[in-house]
Amino acid sequence: DDGLFVYDCINAEKKTVGNKGQDGQPADKGSDDILAFAFSLSGNYFALTDDNKRLILFHTTPSWECVSVSYVAYLLQSFVANCVKGSRHCRLSHLLLSFSIKEMFRYWALKLCLCQQALSPDDRYILTADRDEKIRVSLAKAPHNIVSYCLGHKEFVSKIFVIPNYPDLLLSASGDSTVRLWEYKIGKEVFCCDLSSLREPEATQTNQRYTVSRIAYCCRGGYVAVICDCIPTVYIFQLDAIAQQLVYRRQISLEHKGWDVAFEETGDLWILQESKEAPLLLHRPEDGQWKPVTDDKGLQKMSKYLHDNWTMFEGFVGAESHYSSLYKASFDNMATYLQRKEERLQQQKKRK
């Protein structure tokens, strides 16, 4: 129907047991911030996790309702959501309610600080990346059994994405400003694009970091939309699966920073940007181009809703990069050494 379903995690079921602080309140109490969310492939289920370690499950048809609130042992920032999204057999209720997914998570939770995870469409492989530049490919039922490594990135991996209609191909992005395509089961890189090379001639910043914050994919046409952190641009590519490469098509310039991007099955492209007056943009494909649409009723309705509820975004407006702390620190020890050496030489000359 035309109604909107609104759910506030503040009103979700709270756990009554746990460690308590000196004031008698739970020491591990979160702020009800949502950390990750995803639909099942069928669209019949929606799941989210928050910083209270809650795993909240919704049924979306025939109408939205919360069907389960469960607790997990760790803060799950993206793992559960990605695995839910990747399950092709629509086992969402089983995965969330029985916590069979924890067996896959346990090893990595103790050993690594994961940045990104993905599950192959056949549920056989789990792909993980942390602050390191490596991507690990493991057996989902035995995640300690590493099948291959995808090596090539020079900085942390910010996004990994298994292409659903070409399940042998993995798309990854990194703080090194590159987007890469892999045959991940054998750890082979087949394509690399440096996003900084797509900079418009009039751009003045030459040291800008192109850290990919969002990747969206449309099976119809094989289009890929990419947003980089703190850069007001959407980059559009098209997958050539036979040649195993991404063909750069165009870029959509934004007046504000892009926050998120998503394709409809029809190819329509939705863009969420940092603007209270125009939070949503809609572009429709026509003759290989994405032309802006302004008279769409759905766009007008959702734009008004976001405008009227802009307070939920205020904490992100003007925020600095969330990725700056992940970059490797570099130290110029040689410059310091040479400076001290020169100082010693000057002192020796004075003594003489």
Q: Is the confidence at residue 331, as pLDDT, over 80?
A: no
Give the pLDDT of residue 332.
61
* Mean predicted confidence (pLDDT) in 187-204: 84
95 or 169, greater pLDDT? 169
Give the pLDDT of residue 73.
65
Give the pLDDT of residue 111.
41
Tell me the pLDDT band of 80, cut-offs 50, 70 and 90: very low
346 or 76, greater pLDDT? 346
119 or 249, greater pLDDT? 249
Q: Is the confidence at residue 275, as pLDDT, over 60?
A: yes
Instruction: Tell me which amino acid residue 49 is.
Output: T
Residue pLDDT, tens place only, 113-172: 556 788 888 888 989 887 778 999 999 888 889 999 999 999 989 999 899 999 999 999
Q: Which residues contact 35 (CB under 8 A, 6 or more apart)?
A: 49, 50, 51, 75, 76, 77, 78
Tell me the pLDDT band of 199, cut-offs 50, 70 and 90: confident
Q: 21-30, 148-157, 264-273, 279-288: lowest mean pLDDT where?
A: 21-30
Give the pLDDT of residue 2.
66
Give the pLDDT of residue 319.
83
Q: Which residues contact 269 (CB under 8 A, 6 or more apart)?
A: 216, 218, 225, 234, 252, 261, 262, 263, 282, 283, 284, 285, 290
Tell me the pLDDT band of 215, cut-offs 50, 70 and 90: very high
Q: Is the confidence at residue 245, as pLDDT, over 90?
A: yes
Cβ(196)–Cβ(211) under 8 Å? no
Computed over every residue of the chain, the mean pLDDT equals: 80
Q: Is the confidence at residue 82, as pLDDT, over 50?
A: no
Tokens 């460690």 sit on residue: 19
What CA–CA distances, in Å, run from 277 to 104, 158, 297, 298?
43, 29, 17, 16
